[in-house]
């Protein structure tokens, strides 16, 4: 990538937002345990090096207004990425992601063990179990690891990086990481992102987002404690606590 880009500086209020483990996080829709190297659509190339860097901005925390601008641009880029492959070529794989998410839940709940109470496990089972009832979810080519550390920002323009997890799937799955971390504290960034994306989530996608987040929490609590990873564990606990209180994201 041309120029000296610096990573977007994430907020420091929550450990989940500064979690370096996201680069190898197993908690992905469909129950995948490791990244799968997939060829990105040709459109992905236009998201690399989209703007020239400003070296003087390195290490700075952005203002709230500029941060909203960055997320709005990120939404625009993600929509173009999702639209790069649509229709019958990707819908079957999106349906498979839903099936695998539901099928893999009990395995994650078993591994999570005492890190989930009976009430919590039943809640996650209820939320994820209703996922197929959402019907066919809008499909596209997913980024696969969409969160702030994979957004680069030079003070004026935003670009996306790290496409190694890109693959077909339900579009809503790309919003899980932001929804379970950043958006809980900063709903204005959710608003900005969907302004850029060009449409809000449908009612079915809103429920699917909650269901995918529930599955992600189970996976995080199956993985984090076993691997001594307090950040992943904390992210899972926070999602469960929120779902217990609110019933949805």
Instruction: Fold for 39-49+61-246, please state it.
Output: Aminoglycoside 3'-phosphotransferase; Chain: A, domain 2 (3.90.1200)
The C-alpha atoms of residue 146 and residue 229 are separated, in whole angstroms, by 21
Q: 58: which 2 tokens?
A: 């390195």
Q: Count other C-beta atoms under 10 Å from residue 34's C-beta.
A: 10
pLDDT in tens, 138-158: 999 999 999 998 999 988 999
- Domain ranges in the chain are 39-49+61-246
pLDDT in tens, 45-98: 555 444 444 444 444 578 999 999 999 999 999 999 999 999 888 999 999 999
DSSP 95-139: HHHHHHHHHHHHHHHHHHGGGS-HHHHHHHHHHHHTGGGG-SPPE
Q: pLDDT at residue 224 above 90?
A: yes
The C-alpha atoms of residue 64 and residue 86 are separated, in whole angstroms, by 34
């Amino acid at each position: 990538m041309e120029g000296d880009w610096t990573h977007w500086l994430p907020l420091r209020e929550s450990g989940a937002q500064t979690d370096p483990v996201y680069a190898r996080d197993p908690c992905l829709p469909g129950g995948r345990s490791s990244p799968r190297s997939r060829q990105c659509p040709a459109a992905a190339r236009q998201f690399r090096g989209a703007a020239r860097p400003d070296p003087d901005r390195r290490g700075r925390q952005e203002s709230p207004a500029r941060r909203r601008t960055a997320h709005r641009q990120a939404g625009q880029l993600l929509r173009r990425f999702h639209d790069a492959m649509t229709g019958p070529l990707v819908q079957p794989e999106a349906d498979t992601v839903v099936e695998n998410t539901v099928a893999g839940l009990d395995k994650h709940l078993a591994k999570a063990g005492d890190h989930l109470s009976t009430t919590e496990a039943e809640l996650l089972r209820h939320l994820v179990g209703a996922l197929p009832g959402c019907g066919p979810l809008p499909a596209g080519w997913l980024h696969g690891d969409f969160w702030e550390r994979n957004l680069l920002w030079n003070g004026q323009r935003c670009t996306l990086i790290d496409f190694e997890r890109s693959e077909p799937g339900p579009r809503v799955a790309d919003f899980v990481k932001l929804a379970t971390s950043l958006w809980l504290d900063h709903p204005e960034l959710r608003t900005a992102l969907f302004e850029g994306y060009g449409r809000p989530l449908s009612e079915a996608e809103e429920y699917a987002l909650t269901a995918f987040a529930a599955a992600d929490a189970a996976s995080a609590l199956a993985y984090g404690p076993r691997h001594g990873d307090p950040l992943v564990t904390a992210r899972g606990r926070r999602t469960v606590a929120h779902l217990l209180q609110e019933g949805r994201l």
